[in-house]
Structure 1
Amino acid sequence: MNSHWGKIQVYTGYGKGKTTAALGLVIRALGRGKKAAIVYFDKGGNHYGEREILDQLAGDNFQYFVTGAERFDPESKTFRFGVEERDKQEAEQGLKIVEDLFKKASLDLLVLDEINSTISLGMLKLEDVLDLLNKKPPGLELVLTGRDAHPRILEKADLVTEMKMVKHYFYQGTEAREGIEY
């Protein structure tokens, strides 16, 4: 592993593109022969378009894990807001997967998609996530995405990018579109 690897990156904010930016890093890392993984927190279900490609990429150098109860209805194109007990259980399962990856996998890059949101929505305890960050293997580049990143997470990060929404077509009546939003 390159000695410059091992940073913590955070992509947060109310603008679009946090997961997309993290996926770009995964593609770049894989293109350079690195090993990468994604743990999806709070994005259950099979309707996310990127997973079609991720299934094709899965192998020795890449794997992904889906946790989170289904919150999006592709038929009505609506999200279920509010947290239920099953959401908390799924998020906690995601933490266990990450701990296992820390111990067993020799990864270069690991994305924890929507983990910031799971903290802010009360699905995970901040202290549990901070404890997890303290267990991160030294050479592992770790990327945390999701809105409302906690200030203590931001303090631990080496890079923080805040996606700012300036204008969004949702507010003009455009529904979530297959291939763009999911």
Structure 2
Amino acid sequence: MKRPTFDEPKKSASNKRPYDITDEETDTEMSRQVKNHFKQRSLEKKVPIDPTTKAFFQKMSEPTRARIVSDYDRSIRKSYEKTKRKSKVFPPSSVCKENKRVDPMPSEHDCNIEQYMTDTNLTKEQLLGIAPIKKKSVADIYHKFNLGEPLIKPELVKKLSTLTYLHRCTDSINGTWNNQPMHGLKTNITFVGCAIYG
């Protein structure tokens, strides 16, 4: 951009003070300053630009050219665009809200309630008081002791440890509750029964 050069303003010939100047002298001085202000100025000389700098900035302003893609990359891009066009089109959000609702994420409190339900064998209705809780009788909980019979329930025999279970099977085969010799068992084993609660 061309910038004009400003000449220094020339001082007036008269060295009078402003209050000593007459009206005619004031008008002539004013017209002289106005003409001096609006007269054509001499322009600066154009500085030549280095051609390498000019070429550098011209290349910077040019848009970048697209990189030449290899055949392999082109085939991958084509297959990607093809599968992208085949992608599932999702319905608008209004349709999704009407048809499908996502269940809320279970909190830690809900997980604790489910764990408590599995531990106590109670349903949700029973915990809330809607359904009655079935009370077990004493006979269901405790096993009544009878002389000459095992101290555990018959359905709990398979849950015993190995030696005790084999000892129980031996006694049932022989029809006695006394200690009988058997393969894999010592003859001095004494069975000590204990009450198992259901």
The one of the two structures with greater contact order (alpha-carbon pairs below 8 A, sep at least 6) is 1
- Higher fraction of strand: 1
How high is the TM-score relative to the length of structure 1? 0.15
Query: Which entry has the higher C-alpha Rg, 1 or 2?
Result: 2
- Higher fraction of helix: 2
How high is the TM-score relative to the length of structure 2? 0.15
